[in-house]
Structure 1
Amino acid sequence: MDTTLSVLEMQQLYNRSKPVVWVVRIKHMVEEELVETFGTAFSVSRDGLLLTTAHFFPKTLYGLDVRRLDEPNFQSANVVYEKPKWDVLLLQVIDMNDCQYVGLNSSDSLSVGQTLLHIGHPNNFVGSFLTGKIAFECKGNIEIPTTNLTCKSYTPTALETTPEYRIMGDIWNRHVFVDPRSFTYEKNLHPFVPVIQMYGFICGEGCSGGPVFNFRGEVVGMVAMSANGYEIAIHVAILRETVRLFREQHSDDEDGKRKAIPDPKFQAGDSKKFKAHQADRKERKR
């Protein structure tokens, strides 16, 4: 049951939650220019496993590092697992063994009007503490999508039959993709990914990948996007399943510490080629 927290209780919850929230910094190429982009992630294990959104990451990275919200220094990290059709990705902080982390809520049910909390970095306002409410209930009984369906061919059915929870296909579907050149990433999302429709948050660029908490400080979702005036979060059922699949596929080493093995799908940019490319561009501008 939803209750109201006092200002002091909200401050205490923020203080408890801050150490699990991370700033993600990536360097990548945009129209032949090296740019830095910032996002949000949150830790779900003592050895520095971080959850964030997959759409934030280009396939070729020239730099990736992270810092905890309450610490000043950036640390190296690797992309170790991704589920692009679910818009979920896992990072591993290198040489981490004492990371504070948050629990993923074990219940799938969410009620209309329930208050949710978010810590993210909207438009460089790092560490903003936001509140919002649920606009459409989730009755539980979440089904994890396993087929190869994509949003680009999905026909929405919510107007014919009211669903038990929101799905990605309610947002992205064949009626939206009029221009075949647009929404390249969204077209390939799975339409049956469960999502949370929220209002009251003012999430901006930089909030993607940030945790959505209940009043107990448990994660119930992860901010992914805005749509039609609402904020949309990936449901915690998908987050739990992503972590389970990763742990199932990656065994610990002899010391009991998980190895930060980069995902081969994400390639590191060739620094020598990049420098040569930049030098050539400068020469051509003269």
Structure 2
Amino acid sequence: MSSRLLSVLLVLAVTPLTAGAEEEGPVGPWLQARVREHAAWFTYQGNGEGRAGAMGLWRERPAGEPGLPNFVPPTSLAPLIRAVEAGVVNITTVSPRESGLAGMKRSTGSGFVLTADGLVVTNSHVVSGANKIAVRLSDGREFSAEVVGRDASTDVALLRLSGSDMGDLPALFLGDSDRLEVGDWVVAIGNPFGLDHSVAHGMISAKERVLGVGQFDDFIQTDALINPGNSGGPLFNMKGEVVGVNTAIISQGQGIGFAVPINLVKDLLPNLRENGKLERGWLGVVVNDDRESGERRAPLVKDVFRGSPAHAAGIRSGDRLVAVNGRTIGSYLQLLRKVALLAPGSEARLTLLRPGAKQEEVTVRLVERPAQEATEGLVQRTSSDEDLGLALRDLTPDVAAPLGQEAWAGALVSAVTPRSPADEAGLRVGDVVTEVNRKRVKDAAGVRAALSRGSSGASILLRVKRGDSLQYVAIAR
């Protein structure tokens, strides 16, 4: 017997009883309550919220019932890929072999067309040291290219194509990487291992990943497959917009790839086009990156340098810097990235929140970052009399937390000069120096003090933490 027929019979059986419920004792009210529950069950089954499983232990959606609100599962990505793949390019470079070996080295990478007149974006490491750069489009046309500008700290490079038969190149649209959410679908197109226009899809696994590469660390993590040769290629959202530049993989893991957010690239591109490299703008403020109940808050201005752009714009202690050029900021590192990527001489709109007042906007014209402020405020040299090619940062709570390190448990290596004593000793960016000549150190000042006590000409023994391992590194003075 079906449950619906059982319900009808139950209602028919109960109807005479409910008419004289007062005369039948407690049975009448009990049956009335059961009838209401049974009727509500059938109403619930057809109201779009689901139907009950066996004995009401779970819910199931009726056939044809719509699924989650505002969610459209992708069926095929073929239309999106057809619309954007023409703007993805294959990059081949020829460069001298490393370590003085004879002959030339041939490498491949990826990129995408930025403008119809021949500007192309790729990774800095793809074209670093190249004597010759060739760019091939999906339609088979091939052009020579030259570097307009590149920046190793963000791993972004801007190329310009040259040659006949260029015409209007298939430029891609750029999206807004700030609007990405964990779980958004993405597509990566590139040339892994030289295999032209390979497509991989996945989702955003995390945002604002800090890998210890430098102060501009702000990577998108995705599980879309990114292999050697994908470097410099675009990461697309479901609108066919570029939201990232694929740049790195973790070789020990699977399904872990990284991309530079396209909004960071947007801030950097004018600088590269005009200056050929990253000329860093300077605002001139000292901020506290305070947090409240563990939540990120807009940086609080602690002090303003006299004569700085911030001073000229009327920024004062106690102001909170809420946004730069309309983009919200929630930490000191975000403020540093957005300001430092703007070229000296450019204007920036700052949104301020003043104590007891509403938000207001001021316009500042950035200037070139003073050398003293750059070395003292951002990185600190290990020695005042000998340059070991090593730059350090204090492991403050704000620096240590994203890296998974313990605050004030050493000094973070933020830069290593190529071919310097530190480089030759094998030190890497992201290492944490915990001991100098077997003396524990907790910050960059402790490293300098320990170095000053060393004998002139003697080797320096550092104990460094790299990932989860500890090892000793000897640096020859």
What TM-score do the two structures reach when normalised by structure 1?
0.65
Corresponding position: 1:232 with 2:258 = yes
Q: Which amino acid aligns with 1:192?
A: F
Residues 146-184 of structure 1: CA deviation (Å, up to 9, x unaligned):
xxxxxxxxxxxxxxxxxxx32xxx212xxxxxxxxxxxx
Q: Which amino acid aligns with 1:93?
A: L
Q: Which amino acid aligns with 1:25?
A: T
Q: Is the 8 A contact 1:48 1:97 kept in 2?
A: no
Q: Give distance in 2, aligned partners of 1:225 and 1:3.
A: 30
| Structure 2 CA distance for partners of 1:57 and 1:107, relative to 1, 3 Å | closer
Corresponding position: 1:171 with 2:211 = yes
Q: Is the 8 A contact 2:192 2:227 kept in 1?
A: yes
| Structure 2 CA distance for partners of 1:73 and 1:247, relative to 1, 3 Å | closer
What does 1:153-192 correspond to in 2, within 5 Å?
165-166=208-209, 170-172=210-212, 189-192=213-216
What TM-score do the two structures reach when normalised by structure 2?
0.40
Displacement, 1:43?
A: 0.7
| Larger gyration radius, structure 1 or structure 2 | 2
The corresponding residue for 1:241 is: 267
Q: Give distance in 1, aligned partners of 2:275 and 2:237.
A: 30
Q: Which amino acid aligns with 1:244?
A: P
Q: Give distance in 2, aligned partners of 1:240 and 1:2.
A: 29
Q: Which amino acid aligns with 1:232?
A: F
The corresponding residue for 1:5 is: 74
Residues 122-165 of structure 1: CA deviation (Å, up to 9, x unaligned):
1122111110111124xxxxxxxxxxxxxxxxxxxxxxxxxxx3
Task: Give the gaps of 5 or more residues in structure 1.
Answer: 138-164, 173-188, 251-286
Q: Give distance in 2, aligned partners of 1:66 and 1:2.
A: 39
| Structure 2 CA distance for partners of 1:75 and 1:2, relative to 1, 3 Å | farther
Corresponding position: 1:18 with 2:85 = yes
Which stretches of structure 1, 4 residues or more, deviate above 4 A after TM superposition? 247-250
Corresponding position: 1:105 with 2:175 = yes
Corresponding position: 1:89 with 2:113 = no
The corresponding residue for 1:202 is: 225
Q: Is the 8 A contact 2:211 2:217 kept in 1?
A: no
Could you tell me the percent identity over the aligned residues? Answer: 27
Residues 173-226 of structure 1: CA deviation (Å, up to 9, x unaligned):
xxxxxxxxxxxxxxxx53333210111x22211000000000000011011011
**What RMSD over aligned residues (CA atoms) do the two structures have, in Å?**
2.0
What does 1:131-150 correspond to in 2, within 5 Å?
131-137=201-207
Q: Which amino acid aligns with 1:193?
A: D
SS in 1 for 2:193: helix
The corresponding residue for 1:63 is: 132
The corresponding residue for 2:104 is: 34
Q: Which moved more, 1:15-24 or 1:87-96?
A: 87-96
Displacement, 1:2?
A: 6.3
Q: 1:80 aligns with which of 148, 152, 171?
A: 148
| Structure 2 CA distance for partners of 1:28 and 1:44, relative to 1, 3 Å | same
Residues 47-84 of structure 1: CA deviation (Å, up to 9, x unaligned):
1111000012232x33211111x222321111111122
What count of residue pairs does the alignment treat as equivalent? 199
Task: Give the gaps of 5 or more residues in structure 2.
Answer: 1-69, 277-477
Q: Is the 8 A contact 2:149 2:275 kept in 1?
A: no
What does 1:211-222 correspond to in 2, within 5 Å?
211-222=234-245
